[in-house]
């Protein structure tokens, strides 16, 4: 039986990442990967993203920065799209990527810009 935090997290996760993405993540999960999907949904999205201390826009700014610094390209592309959903503009994302380049190094900045551009193209193609 899913916990209250899981249900809360599932709602927020779908709002930020899109229902299709989240449903596919669970549909593609197997016995090995399902616990990670459940953990991320409950801990990240239920316990943290649903807190009132920061708005979703601010959380997206933080995520773009951390995920870029950690060199997680798949998650970065996902969170660039989420940042757009959460109200950031492409110009603001550009500024965030410049800040990343300054503090994390030019290679991290170059990768972040490349990945953000790919995410923008996918968003534009989806219409």
Torsion-angle region of 51 (φ positive above 0: left; ψ -120 to 50: alpha; else: beta): beta
Do residues 41 and 60 both lie within one domain? no
Do residues 59 and 9 both lie within one domain? no
pTM above 0.85, yes or no: yes
pLDDT in 10s for each residue of the chain, 127 residues: 789 999 999 999 999 999 999 999 999 999 999 999 999 999 999 999 999 999 999 999 999 999 999 999 999 999 999 999 999 999 999 999 999 999 999 999 999 999 999 999 999 999 8
Range of the domain at 3: 1-51
Place of tokens 């801990």: 43
Do residues 12 and 28 both lie within one domain? yes
Taking alpha carbons only, the member of 87, 80, 63, 88 closest to residue 114 is 80
The beta-strand segments (E) located in 1-127 are: none
Q: Cα 122 to chain center, whole Å?
A: 15
To 10 degrees, what angle do helices 106-126 and 73-85 make?
A: 50
């Amino acid at each position: 039986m899913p916990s209250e935090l899981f249900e809360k997290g599932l709602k927020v996760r779908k709002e930020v990442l899109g229902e299709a993405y989240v449903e596919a993540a669970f549909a593609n999960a197997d016995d090995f990967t399902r616990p990670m999907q459940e953990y991320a949904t409950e801990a990240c999205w239920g316990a943290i993203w649903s807190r009132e201390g920061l708005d979703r826009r601010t959380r997206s700014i933080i995520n773009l920065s951390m995920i870029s610094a950690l060199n997680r390209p798949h998650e970065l592309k996902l969170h660039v799209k989420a940042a757009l959903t959460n109200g950031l503009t492409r110009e603001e994302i550009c500024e965030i990527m410049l800040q990343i380049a300054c503090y994390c190094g030019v290679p991290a900045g170059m990768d972040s810009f490349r990945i953000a551009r790919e995410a923008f193209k996918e968003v534009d193609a989806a219409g």
